[in-house]
Protein backbone atom coordinates (compact mmCIF):
# COMPACT_ATOMS: atom_id res chain seq x y z
CA UNK A 1 0.00 0.00 0.00
CA UNK A 2 1.40 3.40 -0.91
CA UNK A 3 1.68 5.87 1.87
CA UNK A 4 -0.61 8.31 0.10
CA UNK A 5 -3.63 7.28 -1.88
CA UNK A 6 -2.98 7.56 -5.58
CA UNK A 7 -5.00 10.43 -6.93
CA UNK A 8 -4.91 11.28 -10.60
CA UNK A 9 -2.55 14.22 -11.00
CA UNK A 10 -4.02 16.74 -13.38
CA UNK A 11 -1.53 17.95 -15.96
CA UNK A 12 -0.70 21.63 -16.18
CA UNK A 13 -1.54 21.58 -19.87
CA UNK A 14 -4.36 19.56 -21.42
CA UNK A 15 -3.32 17.08 -24.09
CA UNK A 16 -5.29 19.10 -26.66
CA UNK A 17 -3.48 22.26 -25.63
CA UNK A 18 -0.11 20.57 -25.99
CA UNK A 19 -0.80 19.06 -29.41
CA UNK A 20 -2.28 22.29 -30.68
CA UNK A 21 0.56 24.38 -29.25
CA UNK A 22 3.21 22.58 -31.29
CA UNK A 23 1.20 22.20 -34.48
CA UNK A 24 0.26 25.85 -34.22
CA UNK A 25 3.86 26.91 -33.56
CA UNK A 26 4.98 25.10 -36.73
CA UNK A 27 2.09 26.57 -38.75
CA UNK A 28 2.74 30.12 -37.58
CA UNK A 29 6.44 29.84 -38.39
CA UNK A 30 5.78 28.53 -41.91
CA UNK A 31 2.95 31.03 -42.44
CA UNK A 32 5.19 33.91 -41.36
CA UNK A 33 8.11 32.87 -43.56
CA UNK A 34 6.02 32.03 -46.63
CA UNK A 35 4.04 35.21 -45.98
CA UNK A 36 7.24 37.23 -46.17
CA UNK A 37 7.91 35.61 -49.57
CA UNK A 38 4.49 36.79 -50.71
CA UNK A 39 5.10 40.25 -49.25
CA UNK A 40 8.36 40.44 -51.23
CA UNK A 41 6.31 40.38 -54.46
CA UNK A 42 4.98 43.82 -53.59
CA UNK A 43 6.61 45.25 -50.44
CA UNK A 44 4.25 48.18 -50.08
CA UNK A 45 1.20 48.60 -47.83
CA UNK A 46 -1.78 50.86 -48.39
CA UNK A 47 -5.02 51.91 -46.73
CA UNK A 48 -8.30 51.70 -48.59
CA UNK A 49 -9.64 49.53 -51.37
CA UNK A 50 -6.93 49.96 -53.99
CA UNK A 51 -3.18 50.53 -53.95
CA UNK A 52 -0.43 49.99 -56.50
CA UNK A 53 2.93 51.51 -57.35
CA UNK A 54 1.62 54.98 -58.20
CA UNK A 55 -0.47 55.21 -55.04
CA UNK A 56 0.69 56.38 -51.64
CA UNK A 57 1.99 53.55 -49.48
CA UNK A 58 2.03 54.13 -45.72
CA UNK A 59 4.77 51.55 -45.41
CA UNK A 60 7.27 50.32 -47.96
CA UNK A 61 10.54 48.47 -48.20
CA UNK A 62 12.71 49.68 -51.05
CA UNK A 63 16.22 49.76 -52.36
CA UNK A 64 18.52 52.01 -54.27
CA UNK A 65 21.83 50.89 -55.82
CA UNK A 66 23.75 50.69 -52.59
CA UNK A 67 21.22 50.63 -49.78
CA UNK A 68 17.99 49.13 -48.57
CA UNK A 69 15.45 51.09 -46.60
CA UNK A 70 12.22 50.80 -44.68
CA UNK A 71 9.85 53.72 -44.98
CA UNK A 72 6.97 54.54 -42.63
CA UNK A 73 5.07 57.56 -43.96
CA UNK A 74 7.79 60.17 -44.43
CA UNK A 75 10.28 58.47 -42.14
CA UNK A 76 13.00 56.51 -43.91
CA UNK A 77 15.20 54.08 -42.00
CA UNK A 78 18.27 52.58 -43.64
CA UNK A 79 18.15 48.79 -43.47
CA UNK A 80 21.05 47.78 -45.72
CA UNK A 81 22.05 44.19 -44.97
CA UNK A 82 18.64 43.26 -43.60
CA UNK A 83 15.82 44.65 -45.75
CA UNK A 84 15.81 45.70 -49.38
CA UNK A 85 19.53 45.19 -49.98
CA UNK A 86 21.29 42.16 -48.55
CA UNK A 87 23.77 39.42 -49.45
CA UNK A 88 22.50 35.92 -50.14
CA UNK A 89 24.40 32.80 -49.04
CA UNK A 90 26.47 32.99 -52.24
CA UNK A 91 27.49 36.55 -51.38
CA UNK A 92 25.39 38.05 -54.16
CA UNK A 93 23.49 41.27 -53.47
CA UNK A 94 19.73 40.77 -53.52
CA UNK A 95 17.12 43.51 -53.48
CA UNK A 96 14.04 41.64 -52.34
CA UNK A 97 12.50 43.18 -49.22
CA UNK A 98 12.94 40.34 -46.73
CA UNK A 99 16.19 38.32 -46.85
CA UNK A 100 16.39 34.65 -47.82
CA UNK A 101 16.91 33.43 -44.26
CA UNK A 102 13.47 34.77 -43.33
CA UNK A 103 11.48 33.37 -46.27
CA UNK A 104 10.16 30.04 -47.53
CA UNK A 105 11.48 29.14 -50.04
CA UNK A 106 14.76 30.93 -49.35
CA UNK A 107 15.06 32.16 -52.93
CA UNK A 108 12.18 34.23 -54.25
CA UNK A 109 9.24 32.31 -55.70
CA UNK A 110 5.84 33.89 -55.24
CA UNK A 111 4.04 30.80 -56.60
CA UNK A 112 5.83 28.43 -54.21
CA UNK A 113 5.43 30.81 -51.29
CA UNK A 114 1.70 30.87 -51.95
CA UNK A 115 1.51 27.07 -52.02
CA UNK A 116 3.23 26.80 -48.64
CA UNK A 117 1.11 29.59 -47.23
CA UNK A 118 -2.27 28.21 -48.26
CA UNK A 119 -1.46 24.64 -47.28
CA UNK A 120 -0.40 25.62 -43.77
CA UNK A 121 -3.25 28.13 -43.56
CA UNK A 122 -5.66 25.20 -43.76
CA UNK A 123 -3.90 23.27 -40.98
CA UNK A 124 -3.70 26.44 -38.90
CA UNK A 125 -7.39 27.33 -39.37
CA UNK A 126 -8.74 23.84 -38.75
CA UNK A 127 -6.37 23.45 -35.78
CA UNK A 128 -7.45 26.73 -34.22
CA UNK A 129 -11.12 25.86 -34.62
CA UNK A 130 -10.71 22.39 -33.10
CA UNK A 131 -8.65 23.83 -30.24
CA UNK A 132 -11.31 26.43 -29.47
CA UNK A 133 -14.13 23.90 -29.50
CA UNK A 134 -12.21 21.37 -27.42
CA UNK A 135 -11.07 24.05 -24.96
CA UNK A 136 -14.65 25.09 -24.34
CA UNK A 137 -15.61 21.43 -23.96
CA UNK A 138 -12.83 20.55 -21.50
CA UNK A 139 -13.36 23.89 -19.75
CA UNK A 140 -9.77 25.07 -20.36
CA UNK A 141 -11.12 28.45 -21.39
CA UNK A 142 -13.58 28.75 -18.49
CA UNK A 143 -11.13 27.48 -15.86
CA UNK A 144 -7.79 28.87 -16.97
CA UNK A 145 -8.48 31.89 -19.17
CA UNK A 146 -11.70 33.32 -17.76
CA UNK A 147 -11.11 36.73 -16.20
CA UNK A 148 -12.51 36.94 -12.69
CA UNK A 149 -14.17 40.22 -11.80
CA UNK A 150 -11.45 41.31 -9.37
CA UNK A 151 -8.79 40.67 -12.00
CA UNK A 152 -10.11 43.54 -14.11
CA UNK A 153 -9.02 46.11 -11.49
CA UNK A 154 -6.37 48.38 -13.08
CA UNK A 155 -4.25 48.15 -9.93
CA UNK A 156 -4.31 44.37 -10.19
CA UNK A 157 -3.30 44.44 -13.86
CA UNK A 158 -0.56 46.96 -13.10
CA UNK A 159 0.79 44.78 -10.31
CA UNK A 160 0.80 41.77 -12.62
CA UNK A 161 2.68 43.74 -15.27
CA UNK A 162 5.27 44.76 -12.66
CA UNK A 163 5.60 41.12 -11.64
CA UNK A 164 6.71 40.38 -15.19
CA UNK A 165 9.76 42.60 -14.71
CA UNK A 166 10.99 40.74 -11.64
CA UNK A 167 12.84 37.49 -12.11
CA UNK A 168 11.64 36.04 -8.80
CA UNK A 169 7.94 36.32 -9.60
CA UNK A 170 8.53 35.12 -13.16
CA UNK A 171 10.23 31.99 -11.77
CA UNK A 172 7.30 31.26 -9.47
CA UNK A 173 4.72 31.78 -12.19
CA UNK A 174 5.30 28.41 -13.84
CA UNK A 175 3.76 26.69 -10.83
CA UNK A 176 0.80 29.05 -10.50
CA UNK A 177 -2.46 29.49 -12.35
CA UNK A 178 -2.26 32.01 -15.19
CA UNK A 179 -1.92 35.57 -13.93
CA UNK A 180 -3.98 38.38 -15.39
CA UNK A 181 -1.38 39.47 -17.93
CA UNK A 182 -1.03 35.90 -19.17
CA UNK A 183 -4.79 35.54 -19.39
CA UNK A 184 -5.23 38.79 -21.31
CA UNK A 185 -2.36 37.91 -23.62
CA UNK A 186 -3.61 34.40 -24.40
CA UNK A 187 -7.18 35.65 -24.87
CA UNK A 188 -5.90 38.38 -27.17
CA UNK A 189 -3.80 35.97 -29.23
CA UNK A 190 -6.28 33.09 -29.42
CA UNK A 191 -9.51 35.03 -29.82
CA UNK A 192 -8.40 38.23 -31.54
CA UNK A 193 -5.07 38.06 -33.36
CA UNK A 194 -5.26 34.51 -34.74
CA UNK A 195 -8.87 34.81 -36.01
CA UNK A 196 -7.98 38.23 -37.41
CA UNK A 197 -5.22 36.61 -39.49
CA UNK A 198 -7.75 34.21 -41.00
CA UNK A 199 -10.33 36.94 -41.56
CA UNK A 200 -7.94 39.37 -43.25
CA UNK A 201 -6.34 36.54 -45.19
CA UNK A 202 -9.69 35.53 -46.62
CA UNK A 203 -10.43 39.20 -47.26
CA UNK A 204 -7.58 39.37 -49.77
CA UNK A 205 -9.18 36.63 -51.87
CA UNK A 206 -11.22 38.02 -54.77
CA UNK A 207 -13.32 34.84 -54.79
CA UNK A 208 -14.17 35.05 -51.07
CA UNK A 209 -14.73 38.77 -51.41
CA UNK A 210 -17.42 38.15 -54.02
CA UNK A 211 -19.06 35.62 -51.70
CA UNK A 212 -18.73 37.72 -48.55
CA UNK A 213 -17.98 41.42 -49.21
CA UNK A 214 -18.09 42.06 -45.46
CA UNK A 215 -14.62 40.50 -45.23
CA UNK A 216 -13.03 43.67 -46.58
CA UNK A 217 -15.85 46.16 -45.93
CA UNK A 218 -15.18 46.14 -42.18
CA UNK A 219 -11.62 47.31 -42.84
CA UNK A 220 -12.52 49.83 -45.54
CA UNK A 221 -11.11 47.81 -48.41
CA UNK A 222 -8.86 45.01 -49.58
CA UNK A 223 -5.61 46.94 -49.19
CA UNK A 224 -6.57 47.86 -45.63
CA UNK A 225 -7.22 44.18 -44.94
CA UNK A 226 -3.77 43.41 -46.38
CA UNK A 227 -2.19 46.03 -44.10
CA UNK A 228 -4.03 44.65 -41.06
CA UNK A 229 -2.90 41.13 -42.03
CA UNK A 230 0.71 42.33 -42.02
CA UNK A 231 0.43 44.34 -38.78
CA UNK A 232 -1.26 41.45 -37.01
CA UNK A 233 1.46 39.08 -38.20
CA UNK A 234 4.05 41.29 -36.57
CA UNK A 235 2.00 41.56 -33.37
CA UNK A 236 2.19 37.76 -33.32
CA UNK A 237 5.96 37.96 -33.82
CA UNK A 238 6.07 40.35 -30.86
CA UNK A 239 4.01 37.91 -28.82
CA UNK A 240 6.37 35.11 -29.82
CA UNK A 241 9.44 37.07 -28.71
CA UNK A 242 7.99 37.99 -25.30
CA UNK A 243 6.68 34.43 -24.92
CA UNK A 244 10.18 33.02 -25.56
CA UNK A 245 11.82 35.49 -23.16
CA UNK A 246 9.31 34.56 -20.44
CA UNK A 247 9.86 30.84 -21.04
CA UNK A 248 13.64 31.31 -20.84
CA UNK A 249 13.37 33.35 -17.62
CA UNK A 250 10.87 31.09 -15.89
CA UNK A 251 12.73 27.82 -16.43
CA UNK A 252 12.96 26.75 -20.07
CA UNK A 253 13.49 23.03 -19.46
CA UNK A 254 10.59 22.68 -17.04
CA UNK A 255 8.28 24.81 -19.16
CA UNK A 256 9.10 23.03 -22.41
CA UNK A 257 8.79 19.65 -20.74
CA UNK A 258 5.38 20.67 -19.38
CA UNK A 259 4.21 21.71 -22.85
CA UNK A 260 5.30 18.28 -24.14
CA UNK A 261 4.53 15.89 -21.28
CA UNK A 262 1.83 17.87 -19.53
CA UNK A 263 3.60 18.92 -16.33
CA UNK A 264 2.04 19.21 -12.92
CA UNK A 265 -1.21 20.90 -12.20
CA UNK A 266 -1.50 24.57 -11.39
CA UNK A 267 -1.03 25.28 -7.73
CA UNK A 268 0.39 21.81 -7.08
CA UNK A 269 4.00 23.05 -6.85
CA UNK B 1 24.10 25.53 -15.03
CA UNK B 2 21.08 27.39 -16.26
CA UNK B 3 23.25 29.64 -18.40
CA UNK B 4 24.82 26.67 -20.18
CA UNK B 5 21.40 25.21 -20.72
CA UNK B 6 20.13 28.44 -22.14
CA UNK B 7 23.16 28.79 -24.37
CA UNK B 8 22.63 25.23 -25.56
CA UNK B 9 19.00 25.98 -26.11
CA UNK B 10 19.77 29.08 -28.16
CA UNK B 11 22.48 27.28 -30.17
CA UNK B 12 20.22 24.37 -30.92
CA UNK B 13 17.44 26.80 -31.83
CA UNK B 14 19.80 28.46 -34.32
CA UNK B 15 20.85 25.10 -35.76
CA UNK B 16 17.22 24.10 -35.85
CA UNK B 17 16.27 27.27 -37.72
CA UNK B 18 19.09 26.72 -40.21
CA UNK B 19 18.15 23.12 -40.91
CA UNK B 20 14.49 24.13 -41.08
CA UNK B 21 15.35 26.55 -43.88
CA UNK B 22 17.43 24.12 -45.91
CA UNK B 23 14.88 21.43 -45.13
CA UNK B 24 12.11 23.65 -46.49
CA UNK B 25 14.09 24.30 -49.66
CA UNK B 26 14.66 20.57 -50.12
CA UNK B 27 10.97 19.90 -49.59
CA UNK B 28 10.14 22.73 -51.97
CA UNK B 29 12.12 20.99 -54.73
CA UNK B 30 10.39 17.67 -54.09
CA UNK B 31 7.59 17.11 -56.64
CA UNK B 32 5.62 14.83 -54.30
CA UNK B 33 5.71 17.46 -51.54
CA UNK B 34 4.67 20.13 -54.05
CA UNK B 35 1.64 17.98 -54.84
CA UNK B 36 0.81 17.83 -51.12
CA UNK B 37 1.05 21.61 -50.86
CA UNK B 38 -1.03 22.06 -54.02
CA UNK B 39 -3.78 19.88 -52.58
CA UNK B 40 -4.77 22.87 -50.44
CA UNK B 41 -5.64 24.70 -53.64
CA UNK B 42 -8.15 22.03 -54.53
CA UNK B 43 -9.72 22.75 -51.16
CA UNK B 44 -9.75 26.49 -51.81
CA UNK B 45 -11.49 25.96 -55.16
CA UNK B 46 -14.08 23.56 -53.75
CA UNK B 47 -14.87 25.73 -50.72
CA UNK B 48 -15.08 28.99 -52.63
CA UNK B 49 -17.40 27.44 -55.19
CA UNK B 50 -19.50 25.82 -52.46
CA UNK B 51 -19.98 29.06 -50.53
CA UNK B 52 -22.66 31.48 -51.50
CA UNK B 53 -24.29 31.80 -54.89
CA UNK B 54 -22.06 30.37 -57.60
CA UNK B 55 -22.98 33.35 -59.75
CA UNK B 56 -22.24 35.85 -56.97
CA UNK B 57 -21.05 39.17 -58.39
CA UNK B 58 -17.72 40.71 -57.42
CA UNK B 59 -18.13 44.09 -55.70
CA UNK B 60 -18.72 47.00 -58.03
CA UNK B 61 -17.72 50.57 -57.26
CA UNK B 62 -18.49 54.16 -58.26
CA UNK B 63 -16.55 56.62 -60.42
CA UNK B 64 -15.21 58.28 -57.26
CA UNK B 65 -13.48 55.03 -56.29
CA UNK B 66 -11.33 54.70 -59.45
CA UNK B 67 -7.57 54.36 -59.05
CA UNK B 68 -5.91 57.55 -60.33
CA UNK B 69 -3.72 55.39 -62.57
CA UNK B 70 -4.48 51.80 -63.49
CA UNK B 71 -1.25 49.86 -63.25
CA UNK B 72 -0.29 47.61 -66.17
CA UNK B 73 1.67 44.41 -65.54
CA UNK B 74 2.99 41.45 -67.54
CA UNK B 75 3.13 42.12 -71.28
CA UNK B 76 2.79 45.84 -71.95
CA UNK B 77 3.02 45.54 -75.74
CA UNK B 78 3.04 42.34 -77.81
CA UNK B 79 5.40 44.20 -80.18
CA UNK B 80 4.97 41.85 -83.14
CA UNK B 81 4.79 43.27 -86.68
CA UNK B 82 1.18 42.12 -87.08
CA UNK B 83 0.11 43.58 -83.78
CA UNK B 84 1.86 46.89 -84.34
CA UNK B 85 0.31 47.19 -87.82
CA UNK B 86 -3.13 46.40 -86.42
CA UNK B 87 -2.67 48.94 -83.61
CA UNK B 88 -1.72 51.57 -86.19
CA UNK B 89 -5.17 51.27 -87.78
CA UNK B 90 -7.01 51.20 -84.50
CA UNK B 91 -7.39 47.41 -84.60
CA UNK B 92 -9.95 47.71 -87.42
CA UNK B 93 -8.77 44.33 -88.78
CA UNK B 94 -8.73 42.59 -85.36
CA UNK B 95 -10.52 39.25 -85.41
CA UNK B 96 -11.85 37.26 -82.49
CA UNK B 97 -12.35 33.60 -83.36
CA UNK B 98 -14.52 31.18 -81.39
CA UNK B 99 -13.23 27.72 -82.23
CA UNK B 100 -13.25 24.20 -80.84
CA UNK B 101 -16.30 22.55 -79.35
CA UNK B 102 -18.92 24.93 -80.71
CA UNK B 103 -21.83 24.00 -82.97
CA UNK B 104 -21.50 27.32 -84.82
CA UNK B 105 -17.90 28.54 -84.67
CA UNK B 106 -17.85 32.30 -84.97
CA UNK B 107 -15.57 35.09 -86.05
CA UNK B 108 -16.08 38.70 -85.00
CA UNK B 109 -14.44 41.98 -85.88
CA UNK B 110 -13.86 44.49 -83.12
CA UNK B 111 -16.64 46.66 -84.61
CA UNK B 112 -19.06 43.72 -84.55
CA UNK B 113 -18.30 43.09 -80.89
CA UNK B 114 -18.77 46.78 -80.10
CA UNK B 115 -22.19 46.80 -81.76
CA UNK B 116 -23.47 44.05 -79.43
CA UNK B 117 -25.07 44.69 -76.02
CA UNK B 118 -22.36 45.92 -73.68
CA UNK B 119 -21.71 45.74 -69.97
CA UNK B 120 -19.85 48.43 -68.03
CA UNK B 121 -18.53 47.57 -64.59
CA UNK B 122 -16.25 49.29 -62.11
CA UNK B 123 -14.33 46.55 -60.36
CA UNK B 124 -11.23 45.95 -58.34
CA UNK B 125 -8.37 44.19 -60.09
CA UNK B 126 -6.34 42.15 -57.60
CA UNK B 127 -2.87 41.13 -58.68
CA UNK B 128 -1.32 37.94 -57.33
CA UNK B 129 1.57 40.16 -56.19
CA UNK B 130 -0.71 41.88 -53.70
CA UNK B 131 -1.60 45.24 -55.23
CA UNK B 132 -5.10 46.31 -56.36
CA UNK B 133 -6.41 48.85 -58.84
CA UNK B 134 -9.99 49.92 -59.51
CA UNK B 135 -10.99 50.47 -63.11
CA UNK B 136 -14.11 50.87 -65.22
CA UNK B 137 -14.38 48.22 -67.92
CA UNK B 138 -16.73 48.14 -70.89
CA UNK B 139 -17.11 45.14 -73.12
CA UNK B 140 -19.31 42.42 -74.48
CA UNK B 141 -20.45 39.73 -72.03
CA UNK B 142 -18.82 36.46 -72.99
CA UNK B 143 -22.16 34.73 -72.48
CA UNK B 144 -23.57 36.50 -75.57
CA UNK B 145 -20.77 35.10 -77.73
CA UNK B 146 -21.06 31.63 -76.22
CA UNK B 147 -24.81 31.61 -76.87
CA UNK B 148 -24.23 32.59 -80.51
CA UNK B 149 -21.60 29.91 -81.04
CA UNK B 150 -23.52 27.19 -79.13
CA UNK B 151 -21.23 25.08 -76.94
CA UNK B 152 -21.22 21.36 -77.51
CA UNK B 153 -22.03 19.14 -74.54
CA UNK B 154 -18.46 17.90 -74.25
CA UNK B 155 -17.01 21.39 -73.68
CA UNK B 156 -15.68 21.96 -70.18
CA UNK B 157 -13.17 24.80 -70.45
CA UNK B 158 -12.64 27.97 -72.44
CA UNK B 159 -9.07 28.64 -73.54
CA UNK B 160 -8.14 32.24 -74.37
CA UNK B 161 -5.50 32.68 -77.05
CA UNK B 162 -3.53 35.91 -76.97
CA UNK B 163 -1.32 37.93 -79.30
CA UNK B 164 1.47 38.40 -76.78
CA UNK B 165 4.39 36.13 -75.91
CA UNK B 166 6.23 36.05 -72.59
CA UNK B 167 9.65 34.42 -72.37
CA UNK B 168 9.20 33.05 -75.89
CA UNK B 169 5.91 31.29 -75.11
CA UNK B 170 2.49 32.39 -76.26
CA UNK B 171 0.39 33.69 -73.38
CA UNK B 172 -2.85 31.84 -72.83
CA UNK B 173 -5.34 31.34 -70.03
CA UNK B 174 -8.39 29.23 -69.38
CA UNK B 175 -11.51 29.31 -67.25
CA UNK B 176 -14.34 26.87 -66.67
CA UNK B 177 -17.87 27.31 -67.98
CA UNK B 178 -19.19 28.62 -64.67
CA UNK B 179 -16.89 31.63 -64.95
CA UNK B 180 -17.45 31.75 -68.70
CA UNK B 181 -21.17 32.38 -68.26
CA UNK B 182 -20.78 34.65 -65.21
CA UNK B 183 -22.48 38.01 -65.85
CA UNK B 184 -19.31 39.98 -65.08
CA UNK B 185 -17.15 37.92 -67.43
CA UNK B 186 -16.68 40.24 -70.39
CA UNK B 187 -14.26 40.84 -73.23
CA UNK B 188 -13.42 44.46 -72.47
CA UNK B 189 -12.36 47.00 -75.09
CA UNK B 190 -12.62 50.16 -72.99
CA UNK B 191 -10.96 51.17 -69.72
CA UNK B 192 -12.15 54.20 -67.76
CA UNK B 193 -14.23 55.39 -70.74
CA UNK B 194 -11.32 55.36 -73.19
CA UNK B 195 -10.31 52.75 -75.76
CA UNK B 196 -8.30 50.09 -73.92
CA UNK B 197 -4.60 51.15 -73.83
CA UNK B 198 -2.04 48.77 -75.33
CA UNK B 199 -0.38 48.30 -71.92
CA UNK B 200 -3.69 47.02 -70.53
CA UNK B 201 -4.42 44.58 -73.35
CA UNK B 202 -5.81 46.42 -76.40
CA UNK B 203 -8.01 45.79 -78.18
CA UNK B 204 -9.64 42.98 -76.15
CA UNK B 205 -9.04 41.81 -72.64
CA UNK B 206 -10.79 39.15 -70.61
CA UNK B 207 -12.30 40.27 -67.31
CA UNK B 208 -13.01 37.40 -64.92
CA UNK B 209 -13.66 39.43 -61.82
CA UNK B 210 -13.60 36.81 -59.08
CA UNK B 211 -10.07 35.75 -59.88
CA UNK B 212 -6.57 37.25 -59.70
CA UNK B 213 -5.06 39.43 -62.43
CA UNK B 214 -3.08 36.80 -64.32
CA UNK B 215 -6.34 35.09 -65.35
CA UNK B 216 -7.42 38.27 -67.18
CA UNK B 217 -5.83 37.45 -70.55
CA UNK B 218 -4.85 40.46 -72.66
CA UNK B 219 -4.68 40.92 -76.48
CA UNK B 220 -7.29 38.16 -76.90
CA UNK B 221 -7.49 36.71 -80.42
CA UNK B 222 -9.53 33.59 -79.82
CA UNK B 223 -11.72 31.60 -77.48
CA UNK B 224 -11.42 27.85 -77.86
CA UNK B 225 -13.92 25.52 -76.22
CA UNK B 226 -12.25 22.29 -75.10
CA UNK B 227 -12.96 19.21 -73.04
CA UNK B 228 -9.48 19.11 -71.52
CA UNK B 229 -6.57 21.50 -71.01
CA UNK B 230 -4.03 18.81 -71.86
CA UNK B 231 -3.29 19.99 -75.38
CA UNK B 232 -2.08 23.48 -74.48
CA UNK B 233 1.39 24.43 -73.25
CA UNK B 234 2.33 22.11 -70.40
CA UNK B 235 -1.32 21.26 -69.91
CA UNK B 236 -1.80 23.25 -66.72
CA UNK B 237 -4.26 25.69 -68.21
CA UNK B 238 -2.26 28.89 -68.51
CA UNK B 239 1.08 30.57 -69.06
CA UNK B 240 1.87 31.20 -65.39
CA UNK B 241 0.65 27.75 -64.39
CA UNK B 242 3.07 26.27 -66.94
CA UNK B 243 6.18 28.33 -66.18
CA UNK B 244 5.81 28.47 -62.38
CA UNK B 245 3.60 26.83 -59.81
CA UNK B 246 0.78 29.34 -60.03
CA UNK B 247 -2.63 27.78 -59.56
CA UNK B 248 -5.17 27.38 -62.32
CA UNK B 249 -7.93 28.54 -59.97
CA UNK B 250 -6.91 32.02 -58.86
CA UNK B 251 -9.73 32.93 -56.49
CA UNK B 252 -7.35 33.44 -53.56
3-state secondary structure B9-24: HHHHHHHHHHHHHHHH
| Structural domain for A222, as ranges | 15-41+110-261
Of B24, B40, B252, the CB nearest to A208: B252
* Residue B30 and residue B62 in one domain: no
Q: What is the pLDDT of residue A263?
A: 87
> Is residue B43 located within the same domain as residue B62?
no
Helix pair A222-250, A15-40: axis angle to 10 deg? 130
Mean pLDDT of A54-61: 97
Chain B's closest residue to A225, CA to CA, is B130
**Residue B141: pLDDT above 60?**
yes
Of the listed ranges A137-141, A200-204, B206-210, the one predicted with least confidence? A137-141
Of A50, A211, A253, the CB nearest to B132: A50
| pLDDT for the residue numbered B98 | 98
Q: pLDDT at position A10, please? A: 74
Per-residue pLDDT for B1 more than 70? no
- Please indicate, yes or no, whether residues B227 and B155 belong to a single structural domain of this protein: yes
- Asked if residue A68 belongs to a domain, the reply is no
Residues of B in contact with A252 (CB under 8 A): 5-6, 9
Cβ contact A41–B69 (<8 Å): no
Same domain, B84 and B197: yes
Q: Flag the least confident range among A219-228, A250-259, B145-154.
A: A250-259
Q: Residue A268 above 50 pLDDT?
A: no
Which chain B residues in 6-45 lie under 8 Å from chain A, judged by CB atoms?
6, 9, 20-22, 24-25, 28, 34, 36-41, 43-44
The overall pTM is greater than 0.90: yes
**Is B222 at the interface with chain A, CB within 8 A?**
no
Range of the structural domain that residue B113 is part of: 57-243
Looking up residue B176, the CATH number of its domain turns out to be 3.90.420.10
**Rounded average pLDDT over A20-42:** 98
Q: In terms of C-beta density within 10 A (0-12 exposed, 13-18 middle, 19 or more buried), how is residue A154 classed?
A: exposed
pLDDT band for position A269 (cuts 50, 70, 90): very low
Is the pLDDT at B40 greater than 80? The verdict is yes
State the pLDDT at residue A94.
Answer: 95
- Where do the DSSP E strands lie in chain A? 44-45, 59-63, 68-72, 75-78, 86-87, 93-94
Which residues in chain A have Cβ-Cβ distances shorter than 8 Å to B28?
Answer: 104-105, 109, 112, 116
What mean pLDDT is predicted for residues B194-219? 98
Nearest to A209 by CA among B184, B175, B252, B176: B252
Please give the pLDDT value at position B6. Answer: 57
Would you call A50 and B57 a contact, using CB atoms and an 8 Å cutoff? no
Taking an 8 Å cut-off on Cβ atoms, the answer to whether A111 and B246 are in contact is yes
> Taking CB atoms and an 8 Å cutoff, what residues of chain A touch B61?
49
Confidence of residue B4 (pLDDT cuts 50, 70, 90): low
ipTM of the predicted structure? 0.91
Nearest to B5 among A41, A205, A252 (CB): A252
Mutate to test the interface with A, among B27, B53, B57, B252 (most CBs of A within 10 A): B252
Domain count, chain B: 2
Residue B42 is assigned to a structural domain of this protein: yes
Please give the tally of structural domains in chain A.
1
Amino acid sequence: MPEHPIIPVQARHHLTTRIWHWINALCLLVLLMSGLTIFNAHPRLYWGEYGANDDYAWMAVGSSDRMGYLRFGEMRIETTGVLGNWQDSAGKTQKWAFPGWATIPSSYSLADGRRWHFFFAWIFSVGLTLFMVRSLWNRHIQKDLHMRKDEWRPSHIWQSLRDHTRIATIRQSSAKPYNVVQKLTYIGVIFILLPLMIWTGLGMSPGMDANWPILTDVFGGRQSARSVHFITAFLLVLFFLVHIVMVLLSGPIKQTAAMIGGGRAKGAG
Amino acid sequence: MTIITRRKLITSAAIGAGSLLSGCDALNRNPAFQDVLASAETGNFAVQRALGDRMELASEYGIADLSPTFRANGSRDPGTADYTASAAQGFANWQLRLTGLFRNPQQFTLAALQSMPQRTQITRHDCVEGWSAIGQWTGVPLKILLDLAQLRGSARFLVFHCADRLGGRPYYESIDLLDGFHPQTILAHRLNGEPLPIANGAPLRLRVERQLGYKHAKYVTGVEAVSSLAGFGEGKGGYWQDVANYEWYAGI
